[in-house]
Amino acid sequence: MAKPKTPELPNPAAAAEYLIDSWQRSILFLDVMRRRAAQYEEHAAEVAPNVLDYKAELLVDGRKLARPVNYLLTRIVPPEGVAIDARKRPFVIVDPRAGHGPGIGGFKADSEIGVAMKAGHPAYFIGFLPDPVPGQTIEDIARAEAVFLETVIARHPEAEGKPSVIGNCQAGWAVMILAALRPELFGPIIIAGTPLSYWAGTRGQYPMRYTGGLLGGSWLTALTGDLGAGIFDGAWLVQNFENQNPANTLWTKQYNLWSKIDTEPERYLEFEEWWGGHVTLNAEEMQWIVDELFVGNHLAAGDIRTADGTAIDLRSIRSPIVVFCSRGDNITPPQQALDWILDLYDSVDDIRAWGQTIVYTVHDTVGHLGIFVSAGVARKEHDEFASNIDLIDVLPPGLY
């Protein structure tokens, strides 16, 4: 019978090397935390904070409209060496106002803005300021965005088609509402990671869809708005993301930085500038979103009406609609992104009868944020959308 091996004592030199390395990493990690705090203060002090990697020229300030809102239309100035074809339809990227500040649709070269300009299209960006105009409503924002699209169309009379509009996440349903009210303003619409069928899902998966039921409806939204004296802090929306995976927030993300402290700080700080740059909403805006959309599920049902009584019917949209979602997205799972089609149409023949063209693509693994920020997704899916947008525009009615 073999004798059990005597445990080897740790090599003193290796142990000392490990302790020194750990100490050095910890000092560098704390320095990155210091830089993150300084970056936050600098970012928050900006007049119109955003994370765009491009120079933007202000065209329309929503605060100066008849019904003022805190939204802005900007033209993206093409970087040196990027040629824009004035005959190509413009792209308009609309970022989500879901707790974070604007710019995620163009915060690096491999982004929705980047691939649109690489394909030769003029690019415009609809962003927003950190604080809402008192009294502004979701309907006011829709009307402001209509003015923005009218401005873009007027700037490109020679273009081959109406603007292609990309709505990311929450901006997607806002774009769809406007397209139902003003279909003549739109070329092809791309909605990325956008929830439209809010009750849809798979039993036992995607816990965020159960949150409203478990908490007893929308009273917590009202309470939060009241505690904020009529202002809803977007940090609470970001916390909903964090609650999906607390281990990542409290440990994994920080350990990844600590373990790769020689190479990771710049990427970490770049993302944290956006992730930590929270914005606010009027309590009435947030209550409308929760009551009419996420709890009420009234959009696909056609039960939402404007102030003048106009019903919002998504079947009124005349432009092709491209839906991009992912099985790896636990914020907007494929069912919430796609089941509005089943809610509105009985069959593919019914889609054709309404003259509608719908193209959808389902990624296998990318998470919610990756739909907008992943360089790989930008180089593949968004690049294909931008390169083939005119082909999509002439597809016969149907489901693709």
DSSP track, 261-293: TTTSHHHHHHHHHHHT-B-EEEHHHHHHIIIII
User: Half-sphere exposure of 386 toward its Cβ, with a 13 Å CA cutoff?
Assistant: 26
Residue among 38, 35, 122 at smallest CA distance from 389: 122
pLDDT score, position 1? 60
Question: In this structure, are residues 167 and 175 in contact, taking their beta carbons and an 8 Å threshold?
Answer: yes
> E-assigned strands of 129-193?
164-168, 189-192
- CA–CA dist 291, 215 (Å, integer): 14
User: Half-sphere exposure of 12 toward its Cβ, with a 13 Å CA cutoff?
Assistant: 0
- Compute the chain's Rg from CA coordinates: 23
Tell me the whole-structure pTM to 2 decimals.
0.91
pLDDT score, position 375? 76
Residues 6+ apart with CB under 8 A from 373: 104, 107, 111, 271
Task: Name the helix (H) or strand (E) containing 128.
Answer: strand 123-128
Residue 114's Cβ-count burial label (10 Å; 0-12, 13-18, 19+) is: buried
User: Half-sphere exposure of 168 toward its Cβ, with a 13 Å CA cutoff?
Assistant: 27
- The answer to whether the Cα torsion of 254, 258, 260, 266 is positive or negative is positive
The pair phi, psi for residue 247, each rounded to 5°, is: -60, -35
- CA–CA dist 28, 24 (Å, integer): 6
Residues 6+ apart with CB under 8 A from 98: 169, 170, 234, 237
pLDDT score, position 229? 96
Which stretch of 6-10, 125-129, 183-187, 269-273 has the lowest confidence by average pLDDT? Answer: 6-10
pLDDT score, position 235? 94
The pair phi, psi for residue 352, each rounded to 5°, is: -65, -40
Query: Average model confidence (pLDDT) for the chain?
Result: 92
Q: pLDDT tens digits for 350-388?
A: 999 999 999 999 999 998 888 887 778 878 888 888 889
Tokens 């904020």 belong to residue: 228
- CA–CA dist 245, 248 (Å, integer): 6
Q: Would you say residue 398 has pLDDT above 70?
A: yes
Q: pLDDT tens digits for 226-274?
A: 999 999 999 999 998 888 889 999 999 999 999 999 999 999 999 999 9
Residue 117's Cβ-count burial label (10 Å; 0-12, 13-18, 19+) is: buried
pLDDT-derived band at 15, boundaries 50, 70, 90: confident
Average pLDDT over residues 148-171: 95
Task: Name the helix (H) or strand (E) containing 239.
Answer: helix 235-244
Residue among 200, 203, 243 at smallest CA distance from 338: 200
Task: Give CA separation, 155 vs 62, 158, 250, 329, 387, in Å.
Answer: 18, 9, 48, 37, 22
Q: Would you say residue 46 has pLDDT above 70?
A: yes
pLDDT score, position 243? 86
Residues 6+ apart with CB under 8 A from 25: 258, 259, 261
Residue 91 DSSP SS3: strand
Average pLDDT over residues 210-214: 74
Domain 56-399: CATH superfamily is Alpha/Beta hydrolase fold, catalytic domain (3.40.50.1820)
